[in-house]
Amino acid sequence: MFSKKHSPLIHILLFIITIATTLVSGTEWITGKSGPHDFLNLAVALPYSFSVLFIIGVHEFGHYFAARYHKVDVTLPYFIPFPPLAGFLNFGTMGAVIRTRSIIVSNKAMFDIGIAGPIAGFFAAIVVLIFGYSNLPEPQYILSIHPDYFSAGYGQDVISLKFGSSILFEIFNSVFNTPTNFIPPMTEIYHYPYLTAGWLGLFITAMNMIPVGQLDGGHVLYSMFGTKKHEAIASISMILLIILGVVGALDSFLQLEFDFGWTGWLVWALVLNFVIKVKHPPVFNFQPLDSKRMMLGYFSLFILIITFTPSPFVISF
């Protein structure tokens, strides 16, 4: 039995609400139409909702089970719903979090808990993307949404949204680009639920793996190298985020058409600096990690490189 303190009801309620918000957001991405929606319309977003919650859930339970392995007291994941709001790019969720209720006393435990989430979530996103690319619909699918898609004047004189690509996404596009497959461009990918969910999973992974403060990447880097190297790399990472954010803001407001950077990185840098903090708090027992953990740590940094998107959202007028 769960005590009141450990009641799972709030976790279940947030999960159910997040199902609802991802269904609404998924429907709007896929169909290109805003609400209100009936239950029949929402059914089209079931693959998106299931895939997003699968990736986020795998990520958070990676943290959860690693924490339980090290006998750290943690909560179940709190899924964070985000209802559709006019003017906001919205995926129906802001992810999920778990809360530790006891101190993590060693960098070994810190490393295992920090890396388990993004590694698990990364492979979950890979699974979703492989399934999505292996089951791409015929070109008639995009024509059912945009009947004039293959016409010469399609997309001219309209505001368009382009999802930014990453090294890994470009690899997927190249591998699955066969004469029998219609690979949607990044300006249309959000109509494809599995590709959208996989893209979002990689984006979330990259954001969490930035080696700053108490982000997953910060936990990993601190556990590998200690305070001084972590602070140096975290500071460089913050500078790069600010540069990307400023370039994105200038591009957006002055319409310079760089298509590089994103204003959101500047907002994320502010959140990291004032909320999550740049420095990592010390752990009581810090010892050099074994070679297996170090190799896994380097692999996680490689994941950051191949999943990071300098310009995740590009709006063209």
Cα–Cα distance between 217 and 206 in angstroms, integer? Answer: 9
Cα–Cα distance between 194 and 205 in angstroms, integer? Answer: 16
Is there a domain that residue 80 lies in? Answer: yes
How many separate domains does the chain show? 1
Is there a domain that residue 3 lies in? Answer: no
Is there a domain that residue 31 lies in? Answer: yes
Instruction: Give the angle subtended at the CA of 197 by the CAs of 193 and 200, to the nearest 5°.
Output: 140
Residue 2's pLDDT is 41
The answer to whether the beta carbons of residues 111 and 289 sit under 8 Å apart is yes
Residue whose C-alpha is closest to residue 57's, from 10, 120, 13, 127: 120
Is there a domain that residue 247 lies in? Answer: yes
Tokens of 64: 């959860």
The answer to whether the beta carbons of residues 23 and 81 sit under 8 Å apart is no
Cα–Cα distance between 12 and 7 in angstroms, integer? Answer: 10
Instruction: Give the angle subtended at the CA of 92 by the CAs of 253 and 13, to the nearest 5°.
Output: 145
Task: Quote the DSSP letter at residue 288.
Answer: P
One DSSP character per residue, 195-241 reads HHHHHHHHHHHHHHHS-STTSHHHHHHHHHH-HHHHHHHHHHHHHHH
| Residue 163 DSSP SS3 | strand
Instruction: Give the angle subtended at the CA of 60 by the CAs of 54 and 64, to the nearest 5°.
Output: 130
Phi first, then psi: what are they for 221, rounded to 5°? -65, -45
Is there a domain that residue 4 lies in? Answer: no
Is there a domain that residue 229 lies in? Answer: yes
44-54 pLDDT, tens digit per residue, is 999 999 999 99
Q: Which residues in the chain land under pLDDT 50?
A: 1-4
Residue 232's pLDDT is 96
Tokens of 45: 């977003």
Residue 4's pLDDT is 47
Is there a domain that residue 1 lies in? Answer: no
- CA distances from residue 46 to 37, 52, 105, 179, 284 in whole angstroms, order as listed: 14, 10, 41, 29, 45
pTM, rounded to two decimals = 0.94
Cα–Cα distance between 52 and 306 in angstroms, integer? Answer: 20
**Average pLDDT for the chain:** 92
41-97 pLDDT, tens digit per residue, is 889 999 999 999 999 999 999 999 999 999 999 999 999 999 887 667 789 999 999
Is there a domain that residue 116 lies in? Answer: yes
- Residue 161: CB partners within 8 Å, gap ≥ 6? 89, 187, 190, 313, 314, 315
Residue 1's pLDDT is 35
Residue 57's pLDDT is 98
**Domain enclosing residue 289, as ranges:** 9-316
